Every structure is written in structure tokens, then in C-alpha cells.
A = this chain, B = another copy of it.
Amino acid sequence: MDKLNNIGGILLDLEGVLFVGERPIDGAVETIRCLKEKQIPHYFVTNTTTKSRGALAQKMRMLGFMIEPEEILTASSAASAYLEQRNPVSCYLFVADAVRDEFKAFPVSEQTPDFVVIGDIGPVWDHKLVNRAFQMVMSGAELVALHKSKYWQSPQGLQVDIGAYVAGLEYATGTTAVVIGKPSSEFFEAGIQALGCPKEQIVMIGDDIDSDVEGAQKCGIRGVLVRTGKYREEIEAASSVVPDAIFDSVADLIKVLDI
């Protein structure tokens, strides 16, 4: 744990780190409470794009975490911030209804938007929508993807994720999408800005060795892997990524911080 001294700020993933499904990870609620009591700067970064920050915070509170919406960076809120920097813009949204509010500041153009935002619309995708996104990008719109995951695990097995549509649109239009969520550097940078402390003092804690740990390290901050959520020993063993530390769970933070 030598690499974990001088911690001035902490970025934390949500799903798999603080909870799985509807169940908090053992010790996670106490850990977050402790960070707040000791006023250690922390901020939550998640690729979840089917819930708004408000709905996420509400869920977290029901699980016992006293978290405010403003403490969470989601891929959709980061996308909104990305667009805001380019104000004024028009956009067209392929996103879940639950996160449309994040983009309400931007006028929608049905024909020639400046930005096309691809999110989780799941079974709603059809050829007409794919073609519409294609034509908008060919007409000059910038392609923005909330994330580029390949698949996700449902109770019915693996399901194709929005990465398929993002990759397909990139191929057909000959462009490269701006991918907003982890592991993009911009996403981590936004989290780092929110913490307001130097990079060398920051650690990111996540259960995904690629998106969370490697992404953090590429951005110049330390990456800690937890053995909860989607963690699998064989994935860690096969990976070329070397986490700065591995925790049995997020609860190890208390020991490391000696608080």
C-alpha cells in the first residue's frame, strides 16, 4: 500500500464498488459516511446512462449512502457539460428518456444538428434511427457517444450494448466518436476538476480493470481495483494493467487513510 500515501481526493465508481443490484457492499455505507465526516474530498464517476443524477442519488440514499446528485458525474451529465463548452449548439438525442433532462439546455434540430448524442435507447433502435444518425453525421454533426460498451449482462444472458451502434456509425461515416464516459480522459479530468486537488493526490477506485483502473492511470492519477462487482481473478491475471493497489473492497479505504 506504499503507493497509497498522500491521498487528497478520491474518485469512486458506483455499481460494483458501493453496491451490486439493490445491495450495498459490506462496509461501503460506513466508508462513505467516514469520508464525509472527515471531509476528505470525494466524487462519484459512473457510466450509467439510464438514470439521471437525481434518480441515482435517490437510489443511493435508499441503500443508505448520503449522496447528493451534485456529487455524481454520469456519462450523460458529462456529455451535457461537453456540449455546454461548445455553446450555442443544437443537438439530436438518441438517449433514454430518463436522462433527456440533462440536455434540456440545447435546442434540438431534427435536420442538421451540430451534435448527435448516442446513449442507451436499448430496444428502440431500428434502421430508421441508425440511418437518421448516419445522415446527421454525414451532414456535419459531431458524433458523441455516452459510452462504447460492447455488451451487458442481463438475467437472460449477454445483450448487445450501444458500442455496436457507435462502432457501426463510426465505420459508416468514417468518423471517430467522442466517447464521453470512462475510460475517456475527459471524463476523468471532469472528476479531477470537481475534486479540486492536484492529480498526484488523487486515486480512482473501481471494479473494472480497463475502464476504471487503466483509464485513471492513463489520465495521470492512481487506479485502485476492488475485488467486488465485476472483478474476476482471471481477468486481473490476464490483464497487462497493474493497479496501484488492490482492495478486497472499498472498505479498505478506511485502513489506508488511517481515519
Residues of A within 8 A of B (CB): 122-128, 130-131, 134-135, 138, 150-151, 157-161, 163-174, 235, 238
Contacts and interface: CB of A to CB of B under 8 A. Distances in A.
Looking at A135, A171, A238, the one whose CB has the most chain B CB atoms below 10 A away is A171
A167 B171 contact: yes
A123 B150 CA distance: 23
Given A125-B126, A126-B126, A128-B123, A167 B172 contact: yes
A159 B122 CA distance: 22
A159 B150 CA distance: 24
Contact of A123 (B127, B174, B235): B127
Contacts of A164: 130, 134, 168-169, 171-172
Nearest to A151: B172
Contact of A172 (B123, B130, B150): B150
Given A134-B164, A168-B165, A122 B126 contact: no
A159 B131 contact: yes
Nearest to A148: B171
Contacts of A163: 168, 171-172
Q: In the assembly, how many copies of this chain are there?
A: 2
Contacts of A238: 174
B135 A150 contact: no
A131 B160 contact: yes
A160 B172 contact: yes
Contacts of A165: 130, 168
Nearest to A239: B174
A173 B235 CA distance: 10
Contact of A125 (B127, B159, B172): B127
By Cβ-Cβ distance, the 8 closest A-B pairs, closest first, are A168-B168, A167-B171, A164-B168, A134-B160, A125-B127, A164-B172, A126-B126, A150-B172
Contacts of A158: 134-135, 138
Contacts of A157: 135
A234 to B, nearest CB: 10
Contacts of A235: 174
A191 to B, nearest CB: 24
Given A160-B134, A165-B168, A168-B165, A150 B174 contact: yes
